[in-house]
Structure 1
Amino acid sequence: MHAFAKAEQEIKNKGIIKPSLTEKATEISSYLDEKMDFNLGERSLRDYRSAAQKLEHDAGDIRIKQVDVITGLCHYLGYENYQDFVNRNDTLEVDGPIIIESTVVKSAVEKLPKKSILRNYRFYILIGVMCILLFWLYNYTTRQRWMVWKEDRYTEVDFDAKKYDIKQLKLYKEDRILSFRKIKVTCLTDFFHPDGSVLVWYGKNGDKQLEYFTDLGLHPETGKTLKPISGYMIDTHICVE
Structure 2
Amino acid sequence: MLKELFSKLFEKLKTESKNNSDSKSGCFNFFETHILEGKYHKVNFITSRSLTNYYNKYVEGIQNTAGEPNHELKNLIANYLGHNNYTDFENSNLKPKNKPFLENNTTTSFAKNSIVTIISILTVSFTSLYFMNTSFSSDENCIIWKDNHFEKSSCTVKNSIDNSFYKVSIADLKKTEVTKETSFFSDGKSLIWHGKSSNGKMEYFTHRGIHPETLKELKPVTTYIIDKYVVSVTKN
Give the TM bin, normalised by the shorter chain. Answer: 0.3 to 0.5
TM-score (norm 1): 0.45
Higher relative contact order (CA 8 A, sep 6+): 2
